Protein backbone atom coordinates (compact mmCIF):
# COMPACT_ATOMS: atom_id res chain seq x y z
CA UNK A 1 0.00 0.00 0.00
CA UNK A 2 1.35 3.42 -0.95
CA UNK A 3 1.99 5.93 1.82
CA UNK A 4 -0.65 8.31 0.51
CA UNK A 5 -3.27 5.57 0.78
CA UNK A 6 -2.61 4.73 4.44
CA UNK A 7 -5.14 7.22 5.76
CA UNK A 8 -7.11 7.70 2.52
CA UNK A 9 -10.61 7.13 3.96
CA UNK A 10 -10.09 8.41 7.50
CA UNK A 11 -11.18 11.87 8.63
CA UNK A 12 -8.22 14.25 8.90
CA UNK A 13 -8.99 15.02 12.55
CA UNK A 14 -8.90 11.31 13.41
CA UNK A 15 -5.53 10.90 11.67
CA UNK A 16 -4.12 13.85 13.65
CA UNK A 17 -5.32 12.32 16.92
CA UNK A 18 -3.67 8.99 16.05
CA UNK A 19 -0.35 10.58 15.13
CA UNK A 20 -0.33 12.85 18.19
CA UNK A 21 -0.91 9.86 20.46
CA UNK A 22 1.89 7.82 18.83
CA UNK A 23 4.68 9.81 20.51
CA UNK A 24 3.31 9.32 24.00
CA UNK A 25 2.90 5.61 23.30
CA UNK A 26 6.53 5.47 22.22
CA UNK A 27 7.64 7.19 25.41
CA UNK A 28 5.68 4.71 27.53
CA UNK A 29 7.11 1.71 25.69
CA UNK A 30 10.63 3.12 26.05
CA UNK A 31 10.25 3.28 29.82
CA UNK A 32 9.07 -0.34 30.00
CA UNK A 33 11.83 -1.64 27.75
CA UNK A 34 14.49 0.37 29.55
CA UNK A 35 13.35 -1.11 32.86
CA UNK A 36 13.93 -4.63 31.52
CA UNK A 37 17.32 -3.63 30.14
CA UNK A 38 18.44 -2.36 33.53
CA UNK A 39 17.20 -5.53 35.25
CA UNK A 40 18.76 -7.96 32.75
CA UNK A 41 21.94 -8.91 34.59
CA UNK A 42 20.20 -9.18 37.96
CA UNK A 43 17.52 -11.44 36.49
CA UNK A 44 20.07 -13.61 34.69
CA UNK A 45 22.12 -14.06 37.86
CA UNK A 46 19.03 -15.06 39.83
CA UNK A 47 17.95 -17.56 37.18
CA UNK A 48 21.44 -19.05 36.97
CA UNK A 49 21.76 -19.39 40.73
CA UNK A 50 18.50 -21.31 40.87
CA UNK A 51 19.39 -23.40 37.79
CA UNK A 52 16.45 -22.01 35.81
CA UNK A 53 18.69 -21.07 32.86
CA UNK A 54 20.75 -23.70 31.09
CA UNK A 55 22.50 -24.04 27.74
CA UNK A 56 21.45 -26.46 25.02
CA UNK A 57 25.16 -27.03 24.33
CA UNK A 58 25.24 -29.40 27.31
CA UNK A 59 23.31 -31.97 25.30
CA UNK A 60 26.24 -32.55 22.94
CA UNK A 61 25.80 -33.98 19.45
CA UNK A 62 22.37 -35.46 18.83
CA UNK A 63 21.28 -36.76 15.42
CA UNK A 64 18.94 -34.31 13.68
CA UNK A 65 15.34 -35.36 14.34
CA UNK A 66 12.76 -35.24 11.58
CA UNK A 67 10.04 -32.66 12.06
CA UNK A 68 6.77 -31.33 10.73
CA UNK A 69 4.40 -28.51 11.61
CA UNK A 70 0.60 -28.61 11.67
CA UNK A 71 -1.78 -25.67 11.45
CA UNK A 72 -5.40 -25.07 10.54
CA UNK A 73 -7.79 -22.41 9.33
CA UNK A 74 -11.49 -21.99 8.70
CA UNK A 75 -13.73 -19.66 6.72
CA UNK A 76 -17.44 -18.97 7.01
CA UNK A 77 -18.45 -17.03 3.90
CA UNK A 78 -21.81 -15.48 4.73
CA UNK A 79 -23.94 -15.32 1.59
CA UNK A 80 -27.42 -13.89 1.22
CA UNK A 81 -29.21 -17.25 1.22
CA UNK A 82 -26.73 -19.56 2.90
CA UNK A 83 -23.26 -19.87 4.40
CA UNK A 84 -20.29 -21.44 2.63
CA UNK A 85 -18.29 -23.20 5.34
CA UNK A 86 -14.71 -24.43 4.94
CA UNK A 87 -12.31 -25.84 7.51
CA UNK A 88 -8.86 -27.24 6.76
CA UNK A 89 -5.66 -28.49 8.39
CA UNK A 90 -2.26 -28.69 6.71
CA UNK A 91 1.00 -30.39 7.69
CA UNK A 92 4.40 -29.37 6.32
CA UNK A 93 7.64 -31.29 6.75
CA UNK A 94 10.73 -29.59 8.11
CA UNK A 95 14.25 -29.20 6.76
CA UNK A 96 15.85 -31.90 8.92
CA UNK A 97 17.28 -35.18 7.67
CA UNK A 98 15.23 -36.85 4.88
CA UNK A 99 12.34 -38.94 6.12
CA UNK A 100 12.50 -42.54 4.97
CA UNK A 101 9.32 -43.72 6.66
CA UNK A 102 6.17 -43.71 4.59
CA UNK A 103 3.59 -41.02 5.26
CA UNK A 104 0.35 -41.44 3.38
CA UNK A 105 -0.70 -38.53 1.17
CA UNK A 106 -2.32 -36.06 1.25
CA UNK A 107 -0.84 -34.16 4.20
CA UNK A 108 -4.00 -32.15 4.65
CA UNK A 109 -7.64 -32.56 5.65
CA UNK A 110 -10.52 -30.36 4.51
CA UNK A 111 -14.25 -29.91 5.08
CA UNK A 112 -16.49 -27.83 2.80
CA UNK A 113 -20.27 -27.51 2.80
CA UNK A 114 -23.22 -25.17 2.48
CA UNK A 115 -24.87 -24.43 5.82
CA UNK A 116 -28.04 -22.61 6.77
CA UNK A 117 -27.47 -19.31 8.53
CA UNK A 118 -26.52 -19.98 12.14
CA UNK A 119 -24.55 -17.69 14.48
CA UNK A 120 -22.87 -20.74 16.07
CA UNK A 121 -21.35 -22.09 12.84
CA UNK A 122 -18.03 -20.34 13.47
CA UNK A 123 -17.54 -22.08 16.83
CA UNK A 124 -18.46 -25.50 15.45
CA UNK A 125 -16.29 -25.39 12.32
CA UNK A 126 -13.40 -24.11 14.44
CA UNK A 127 -13.74 -27.20 16.66
CA UNK A 128 -13.82 -29.42 13.58
CA UNK A 129 -10.72 -27.68 12.22
CA UNK A 130 -8.91 -28.38 15.48
CA UNK A 131 -9.90 -32.04 15.33
CA UNK A 132 -8.50 -32.30 11.80
CA UNK A 133 -5.24 -30.74 13.02
CA UNK A 134 -4.91 -33.29 15.82
CA UNK A 135 -5.57 -36.15 13.42
CA UNK A 136 -2.82 -34.96 11.09
CA UNK A 137 -0.44 -34.49 14.01
CA UNK A 138 -0.99 -37.99 15.42
CA UNK A 139 -0.57 -39.59 11.99
CA UNK A 140 2.70 -37.80 11.22
CA UNK A 141 5.62 -40.28 11.40
CA UNK A 142 8.15 -37.65 12.49
CA UNK A 143 10.29 -37.47 15.63
CA UNK A 144 9.02 -34.01 16.62
CA UNK A 145 5.65 -32.57 15.60
CA UNK A 146 5.07 -28.85 16.14
CA UNK A 147 1.53 -27.69 16.89
CA UNK A 148 0.48 -24.09 16.35
CA UNK A 149 -1.05 -22.51 19.44
CA UNK A 150 -1.32 -23.93 22.94
CA UNK A 151 -1.77 -27.52 24.07
CA UNK A 152 -4.87 -26.26 25.88
CA UNK A 153 -6.47 -24.73 22.76
CA UNK A 154 -8.20 -27.96 21.63
CA UNK A 155 -10.19 -28.38 24.84
CA UNK A 156 -11.44 -24.79 24.54
CA UNK A 157 -12.45 -25.17 20.90
CA UNK A 158 -13.92 -28.64 21.44
CA UNK A 159 -16.03 -27.49 24.37
CA UNK A 160 -17.41 -24.53 22.42
CA UNK A 161 -18.14 -26.71 19.39
CA UNK A 162 -19.84 -29.58 21.22
CA UNK A 163 -22.11 -27.20 23.12
CA UNK A 164 -23.36 -25.62 19.86
CA UNK A 165 -23.22 -28.56 17.47
CA UNK A 166 -26.94 -29.29 17.21
CA UNK A 167 -28.81 -28.18 14.12
CA UNK A 168 -25.95 -27.92 11.62
CA UNK A 169 -24.36 -30.36 9.19
CA UNK A 170 -20.88 -29.42 10.37
CA UNK A 171 -22.07 -29.99 13.94
CA UNK A 172 -23.33 -33.48 13.07
CA UNK A 173 -19.95 -34.29 11.52
CA UNK A 174 -18.11 -32.97 14.57
CA UNK A 175 -20.22 -35.09 16.94
CA UNK A 176 -19.74 -38.13 14.70
CA UNK A 177 -15.94 -37.77 14.92
CA UNK A 178 -15.80 -36.47 18.49
CA UNK A 179 -14.46 -39.67 20.05
CA UNK A 180 -11.75 -40.00 17.41
CA UNK A 181 -10.69 -36.38 17.95
CA UNK A 182 -10.54 -36.91 21.72
CA UNK A 183 -8.40 -40.04 21.30
CA UNK A 184 -5.95 -38.07 19.15
CA UNK A 185 -5.83 -35.33 21.78
CA UNK A 186 -5.21 -37.84 24.57
CA UNK A 187 -2.44 -39.50 22.57
CA UNK A 188 -0.67 -36.16 22.12
CA UNK A 189 -0.99 -35.21 25.79
CA UNK A 190 0.28 -38.58 27.00
CA UNK A 191 3.16 -38.75 24.45
CA UNK A 192 3.97 -42.21 25.75
CA UNK A 193 6.20 -43.18 22.79
CA UNK A 194 9.79 -42.30 23.65
CA UNK A 195 10.73 -41.90 19.98
CA UNK A 196 8.14 -39.19 19.33
CA UNK A 197 7.26 -35.81 20.79
CA UNK A 198 4.39 -33.42 20.19
CA UNK A 199 5.04 -29.85 21.32
CA UNK A 200 3.01 -26.66 21.04
CA UNK A 201 4.60 -23.35 20.03
CA UNK A 202 2.12 -20.50 20.60
CA UNK A 203 2.97 -17.23 18.83
CA UNK A 204 0.84 -15.03 21.06
CA UNK A 205 0.75 -15.50 24.79
CA UNK A 206 -0.05 -13.52 27.92
CA UNK A 207 1.15 -16.18 30.40
CA UNK A 208 3.51 -15.23 33.23
CA UNK A 209 4.46 -18.44 35.05
CA UNK A 210 8.03 -17.26 35.68
CA UNK A 211 7.09 -13.59 35.95
CA UNK A 212 4.74 -14.25 38.84
CA UNK A 213 7.21 -16.61 40.54
CA UNK A 214 10.11 -14.13 40.39
CA UNK A 215 7.96 -10.98 40.75
CA UNK A 216 9.01 -9.45 37.43
CA UNK A 217 7.30 -6.22 36.27
CA UNK A 218 3.96 -6.91 34.64
CA UNK A 219 4.55 -4.81 31.52
CA UNK A 220 5.50 -7.87 29.46
CA UNK A 221 4.55 -11.53 29.46
CA UNK A 222 7.23 -14.19 30.04
CA UNK A 223 8.00 -14.65 26.35
CA UNK A 224 8.61 -10.94 25.75
CA UNK A 225 10.59 -10.57 28.97
CA UNK A 226 12.82 -13.60 28.35
CA UNK A 227 13.47 -12.52 24.76
CA UNK A 228 15.48 -9.70 26.31
CA UNK A 229 17.11 -11.87 28.99
CA UNK A 230 18.09 -15.20 27.43
CA UNK A 231 21.27 -15.58 25.39
CA UNK A 232 21.64 -17.66 22.23
CA UNK A 233 21.11 -21.36 22.90
CA UNK A 234 19.79 -20.85 26.42
CA UNK A 235 16.58 -22.34 27.77
CA UNK A 236 14.63 -22.26 31.00
CA UNK A 237 13.85 -25.32 33.06
CA UNK A 238 10.29 -26.62 32.50
CA UNK A 239 7.73 -25.37 35.00
CA UNK A 240 4.04 -26.08 35.51
CA UNK A 241 1.72 -24.25 33.15
CA UNK A 242 -0.33 -21.46 34.69
CA UNK A 243 -3.68 -22.91 35.76
CA UNK A 244 -6.98 -21.45 34.50
CA UNK A 245 -9.27 -19.54 36.85
CA UNK A 246 -11.76 -22.42 36.79
CA UNK A 247 -11.46 -26.18 36.32
CA UNK A 248 -11.15 -27.56 32.79
CA UNK A 249 -14.44 -28.74 31.35
CA UNK A 250 -15.40 -30.66 28.22
CA UNK A 251 -18.92 -31.51 27.07
CA UNK A 252 -20.13 -35.11 26.89
CA UNK A 253 -23.12 -35.66 24.57
CA UNK A 254 -25.61 -38.14 26.04
CA UNK A 255 -23.29 -38.67 29.03
CA UNK A 256 -21.48 -41.56 27.36
CA UNK A 257 -19.16 -43.47 29.69
CA UNK A 258 -16.44 -43.97 27.06
CA UNK A 259 -16.33 -40.23 26.39
CA UNK A 260 -16.27 -39.48 30.13
CA UNK A 261 -13.18 -41.66 30.53
CA UNK A 262 -11.46 -39.87 27.66
CA UNK A 263 -12.31 -36.49 29.15
CA UNK A 264 -10.97 -37.50 32.57
CA UNK A 265 -7.69 -38.66 31.01
CA UNK A 266 -7.34 -35.46 28.98
CA UNK A 267 -8.01 -33.15 31.93
CA UNK A 268 -5.56 -35.08 34.11
CA UNK A 269 -2.82 -34.56 31.51
CA UNK A 270 -3.71 -30.91 30.94
CA UNK A 271 -2.99 -30.27 34.61
CA UNK A 272 0.52 -31.66 34.13
CA UNK A 273 1.60 -29.66 31.06
CA UNK A 274 5.04 -28.08 31.40
CA UNK A 275 6.31 -24.83 29.91
CA UNK A 276 9.81 -23.75 28.98
CA UNK A 277 11.42 -20.97 26.92
CA UNK A 278 14.25 -21.34 24.45
CA UNK A 279 16.18 -18.85 22.34
CA UNK A 280 17.59 -20.85 19.42
CA UNK A 281 19.37 -17.97 17.66
CA UNK A 282 20.48 -14.40 18.31
CA UNK A 283 17.86 -12.97 15.94
CA UNK A 284 15.01 -15.07 17.33
CA UNK A 285 12.62 -14.16 20.11
CA UNK A 286 12.37 -16.62 22.97
CA UNK A 287 10.03 -19.44 21.98
CA UNK A 288 7.36 -20.55 24.41
CA UNK A 289 7.34 -24.36 24.33
CA UNK A 290 4.47 -26.30 25.88
CA UNK A 291 5.38 -29.92 26.57
CA UNK A 292 3.45 -32.99 27.72
CA UNK A 293 4.81 -33.99 31.10
CA UNK A 294 6.26 -37.26 29.72
CA UNK A 295 8.49 -35.26 27.36
CA UNK A 296 9.46 -32.57 29.88
CA UNK A 297 10.50 -35.10 32.50
CA UNK A 298 12.79 -37.01 30.16
CA UNK A 299 16.07 -35.17 29.54
CA UNK A 300 16.82 -37.02 26.30
CA UNK A 301 13.40 -36.32 24.79
CA UNK A 302 13.62 -32.67 25.77
CA UNK A 303 17.05 -32.47 24.12
CA UNK A 304 15.61 -33.84 20.87
CA UNK A 305 12.92 -31.12 20.92
CA UNK A 306 15.51 -28.36 21.43
CA UNK A 307 17.73 -29.70 18.64
CA UNK A 308 14.71 -29.84 16.33
CA UNK A 309 13.88 -26.22 17.15
CA UNK A 310 17.46 -25.09 16.60
CA UNK A 311 17.56 -26.79 13.19
CA UNK A 312 14.23 -25.34 12.08
CA UNK A 313 14.88 -21.76 13.27
CA UNK A 314 17.62 -20.86 10.82
CA UNK A 315 16.15 -17.94 8.89
CA UNK A 316 16.38 -14.45 10.42
CA UNK A 317 13.18 -13.37 8.67
CA UNK A 318 11.06 -16.14 10.22
CA UNK A 319 10.25 -15.89 13.94
CA UNK A 320 8.99 -19.46 14.37
CA UNK A 321 10.02 -23.01 13.36
CA UNK A 322 10.11 -23.30 9.57
CA UNK A 323 7.50 -26.08 9.18
CA UNK A 324 5.03 -24.15 11.34
CA UNK A 325 5.65 -21.01 9.31
CA UNK A 326 5.02 -22.86 6.05
CA UNK A 327 1.90 -24.70 7.22
CA UNK A 328 0.52 -21.43 8.60
CA UNK A 329 1.30 -19.58 5.39
CA UNK A 330 -0.37 -22.22 3.24
CA UNK A 331 -3.52 -22.74 5.25
CA UNK A 332 -4.11 -19.03 5.85
CA UNK A 333 -4.56 -18.65 2.07
CA UNK A 334 -7.75 -20.66 2.45
CA UNK A 335 -9.90 -17.52 2.50
CA UNK A 336 -8.45 -16.27 -0.80
CA UNK A 337 -9.68 -19.44 -2.54
CA UNK A 338 -13.31 -19.00 -1.47
CA UNK A 339 -14.35 -16.56 -4.25
CA UNK A 340 -13.29 -19.14 -6.85
CA UNK A 341 -15.25 -21.87 -5.06
CA UNK A 342 -18.29 -19.62 -4.85
CA UNK A 343 -18.05 -18.84 -8.56
CA UNK A 344 -17.94 -22.53 -9.44
CA UNK A 345 -21.00 -23.16 -7.25
CA UNK A 346 -22.82 -20.31 -9.01
CA UNK A 347 -22.02 -21.72 -12.44
CA UNK A 348 -23.10 -25.22 -11.43
CA UNK A 349 -26.45 -23.94 -10.13
CA UNK A 350 -26.97 -21.65 -13.14
CA UNK A 351 -26.67 -24.58 -15.56
CA UNK A 352 -29.59 -26.36 -13.89
CA UNK A 353 -31.78 -23.45 -12.78
CA UNK A 354 -34.82 -22.74 -14.99
CA UNK A 355 -35.73 -19.40 -13.47
CA UNK A 356 -34.13 -15.97 -13.63
CA UNK A 357 -30.34 -16.41 -13.41
CA UNK A 358 -30.18 -13.11 -11.57
CA UNK A 359 -31.77 -14.87 -8.60
CA UNK A 360 -28.94 -17.39 -8.52
CA UNK A 361 -26.21 -14.79 -8.41
CA UNK A 362 -28.14 -12.61 -5.97
CA UNK A 363 -28.69 -15.45 -3.47
CA UNK A 364 -25.05 -16.53 -3.71
CA UNK A 365 -23.80 -12.97 -3.31
CA UNK A 366 -22.21 -11.85 -0.06
CA UNK A 367 -24.70 -10.58 2.49
CA UNK A 368 -23.02 -7.17 2.48
CA UNK A 369 -21.45 -4.82 -0.05
CA UNK A 370 -18.27 -6.52 -1.20
CA UNK A 371 -16.25 -3.47 -2.17
CA UNK A 372 -14.34 -1.50 0.43
CA UNK A 373 -14.56 -4.10 3.17
Q: Which helix (H) or strand (E) holds 342?
A: helix 334-352
- Residue 110, phi then psi, degrees to nearest 5: -145, 145
Kindly tell me if the per-residue pLDDT of 193 is higher than 60. yes
The 3-class SS string of 43-66 reads HHHHHHHCCCEEEHHHHCCCCCCC
Q: How many CB atoms lie within 10 A of CB 146?
A: 32
Task: Note whether 202 and 150 are within 8 A (CB).
Answer: yes
Q: How many CB atoms lie within 10 A of CB 364?
A: 20
Kindly tell me if the per-residue pLDDT of 60 is higher than 90. no
Cβ within 8 Å of residue 321, ≥6 positions away:
67, 69, 94, 146, 201, 287, 308, 309, 312, 313
- Quick one: what percent of the chain has pLDDT higher than 70? 96
pLDDT attached to residue 250: 92
Give residue-wise pLDDT tens across range 354-369: 877 787 777 777 777 6
Q: Is the dihedral of CA 359, 361, 366, 368 positive or negative?
A: negative
Give residue-wise pLDDT tens across range 87-111: 999 999 998 766 566 777 788 999 9
Cis status of the peptide bond prior to 369, with omega within 30 of 0: no
Which of 133, 64, 127 is closest to 92 using CA atoms?
133
Between CA 213 and CA 4 the distance in angstroms is 48
CA 220 from centre of chain: 20
SS3 of residue 148 by DSSP: strand
Mean pLDDT, residues 112-126: 91
pLDDT attached to residue 350: 81
Give residue-wise pLDDT tens across range 262-299: 999 999 999 999 999 999 999 999 999 999 999 999 99
Kindly tell me if the per-residue pLDDT of 261 is higher than 90. yes
Greater confidence (371 vs 65) lies with 65
The 3-class SS string of 277-301 reads EECCCCCCCCEEEEECHHHHCCHHH
SS3 of residue 80 by DSSP: coil
Burial of 25 (0-12, 13-18, 19+ CB in 10 A): exposed
Amino acid sequence: MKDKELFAELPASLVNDLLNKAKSLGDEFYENLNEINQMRETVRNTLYQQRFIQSALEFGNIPSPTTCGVDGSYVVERLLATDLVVGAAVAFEGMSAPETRYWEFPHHKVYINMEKHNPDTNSVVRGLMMGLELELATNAPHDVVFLDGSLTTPIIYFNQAISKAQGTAVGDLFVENYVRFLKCYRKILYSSRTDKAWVAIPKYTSKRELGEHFKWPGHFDDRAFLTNVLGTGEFTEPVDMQKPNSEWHLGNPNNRKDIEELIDDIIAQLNQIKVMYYKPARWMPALRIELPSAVAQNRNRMAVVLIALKNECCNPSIFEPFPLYMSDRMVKHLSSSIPAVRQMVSRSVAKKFDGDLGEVFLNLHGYRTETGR
